[in-house]
């Protein structure tokens, strides 16, 4: 099955990040794109379910990802719609994943990359971090129950029904229509003072609360108005985490967590999982900071600019805009040239990252096999069949992603914690 373009665009960033490259991830313009799109697509949602559209409205960036195929198809059917020509991610990369015609070792002077010493405080994992991660695991096995024999307290998740009115007249969108809705006190965003008035009431009670819509409320006919909501509390949703015991670990986590069967083994496993990204980040940053880079071939910068352009071009296309209009409206730059200039430092880091990783591969004799490729996608997607990715990106690009991942694994595994 062919990948959707939206998923493919996401994978391009995933692969770049897996390679340790900063591509777009640290680029302020990308953040502006996503935040700007969100501001464009949704008004501030402050009310109770009087304006239940809060729960139904998503930001434009998410909408572009979830509906991008249909949007793109509609754009393609319109003669006036902008076109989108996918970038060739495999251009300039040979069949082994190395940059074609480029010996990276000619452009870098590497530090000692085997046995990098990682300070103990960098690799340290706190008890709070371990507990937070274990709580996430336990939450996957949590049970919920409907409690009806106690009063509502701050922080509770409560299922309620209500009907809102202004001057005694119910208003559109101000009722749950008997369907019930669950809110969490201190978390759910409702009209100021709405949820707090639920505290102390018990399931089964019916009562009125009084609130005032904010002056800046998005529904002008309600802005600044006093309102009454008739409330019925249905029940309190209580989530209970399982007790962390050796029996629980053995019964539920043994297969998922690689034959872990005791609480102590689980804590050790979680500690290792939390420590690994800290060590990896330190090692990669150490290499970047201690490698001397020479002027790189211009083709590498051109390639990185092409990847960035593809990212924004695709989103422009999915929004039905030409690239320049999209950049001006959502990114805050006047042109593609201005975006390239603004992103020059980030793109140069991408170029240097590629040279660094390939140079280590050259010197350490690291290569990629068919089995490596299959294992990579098995880990990444749960499926060793990468044919659809190959169709989207080309085999050379996939080979490079796996090559750069193997290089990072190689250096990480040889690192030494003080």
CB 21 within 8 A of CB 355: no
Residue written as tokens 């209580």? 238
Encoded tokens for 98: 């190395």
Q: How many angstroms separate the CA atoms of 235 and 213, rounded? A: 26
- Sorted by where each starts, the structural domains of the chain and their CATH numbers stand as 1-107+295-347 (no CATH), 121-141+243-293 (no CATH), 144-240 (3.10.50.40)
Regarding pTM above 0.75, the answer is: no
- Which pLDDT tens digits describe the chain residue by residue (418 residues)? 233 333 333 344 344 433 333 333 334 444 444 444 444 433 333 333 333 333 332 333 333 344 344 444 544 444 456 889 999 999 999 999 999 999 999 999 999 999 999 999 999 999 999 999 999 999 989 999 999 999 999 999 999 999 999 999 999 889 999 999 999 999 988 899 999 999 999 999 999 999 999 998 888 899 999 999 999 999 999 999 999 999 999 888 876 556 788 999 999 999 999 999 999 999 999 999 999 999 999 999 999 999 999 999 999 999 999 999 999 999 999 999 999 999 999 999 999 999 999 999 999 999 999 999 999 999 888 899 999 999 999 999 999 999 999 999 999 999 999 9
> Tokens 């949703």 belong to which residue?
237
φ, ψ for residue 165, nearest 5 deg: -145, 155
- For residue 404, give both structure tokens: 């750069």
Provide the total of helices (H) and of strands (E) in the chain, helices listed first: 16, 10
Cβ proximity of 231 and 170 under 8 Å: no
Contacts 24+ apart (CB under 8 A), 134-137: 134/244, 134/266, 134/267, 134/270, 135/241, 137/253, 137/266, 137/270
The dihedral formed by the CA atoms of 185, 190, 196 and 198, expressed in degrees to the nearest 10: -80
Which two structure tokens, joined as six digits, stand for 228? 């009454």
- Reported as type and span, the H/E element at residue 408 is helix 395-414
Is the separation of the CB atoms in 317 and 84 below 8 Å?
Answer: yes
């Amino acid at each position: 099955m062919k990948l959707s373009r939206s998923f493919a665009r996401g994978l391009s960033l995933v692969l770049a990040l897996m390679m340790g490259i900063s591509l777009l991830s640290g680029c302020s313009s990308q953040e502006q794109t996503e935040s700007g799109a969100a501001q464009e697509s949704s008004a501030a949602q402050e009310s109770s379910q009087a304006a239940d559209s809060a729960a139904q409205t998503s930001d434009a960036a998410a909408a572009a990802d979830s509906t991008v195929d249909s949007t793109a198809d509609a754009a393609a059917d319109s003669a006036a719609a902008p076109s989108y020509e996918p970038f060739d991610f495999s251009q300039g990369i040979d069949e082994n994943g190395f940059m074609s015609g480029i010996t990276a070792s000619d452009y870098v002077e590497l530090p000692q990359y085997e046995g990098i010493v990682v300070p103990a405080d960098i690799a340290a994992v706190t008890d709070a971090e371990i507990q937070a991660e274990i709580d996430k695991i336990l939450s996957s096995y949590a049970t919920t129950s409907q409690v009806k024999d106690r009063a509502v307290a701050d922080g509770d998740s409560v299922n309620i029904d209500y009907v809102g009115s202004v001057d005694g007249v119910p208003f559109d969108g101000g009722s749950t229509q008997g369907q019930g809705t669950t809110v969490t006190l201190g978390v759910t965003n409702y009209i100021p003072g709405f949820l707090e008035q639920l505290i102390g009431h018990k399931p089964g009670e019916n009562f009125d609360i009084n609130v005032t819509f904010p002056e800046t409320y998005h529904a002008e006919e309600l802005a600044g108005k006093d309102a009454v909501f008739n409330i019925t509390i249905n029940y309190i949703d209580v989530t209970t985490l399982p007790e962390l015991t050796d029996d629980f670990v053995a019964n539920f986590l043994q297969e998922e967590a690689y034959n872990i069967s005791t609480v102590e083994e689980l804590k050790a496993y979680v500690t290792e999982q939390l420590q690994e990204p800290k060590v990896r980040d330190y090692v990669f940053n150490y290499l970047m900071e201690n490698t001397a880079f020479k002027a790189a071939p211009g083709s590498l910068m051109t390639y990185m600019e092409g990847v960035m352009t593809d990212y924004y071009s695709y989103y422009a296309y999915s929004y039905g805009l030409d690239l320049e209009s999209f950049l001006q409206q959502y990114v805050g730059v006047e042109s593609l040239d201005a975006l390239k200039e603004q992103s020059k430092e980030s793109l140069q880091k991408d170029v240097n990252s590629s040279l660094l990783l390939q140079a280590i591969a050259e010197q350490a004799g690291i290569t990629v096999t068919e089995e490596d490729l299959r294992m990579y996608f098995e880990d990444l997607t749960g499926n060793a069949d990468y044919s659809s990715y190959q169709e989207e990106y080309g085999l050379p690009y996939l080979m490079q992603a796996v090559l750069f991942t193997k290089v990072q694994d190689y250096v990480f595994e040889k690192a030494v914690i003080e």
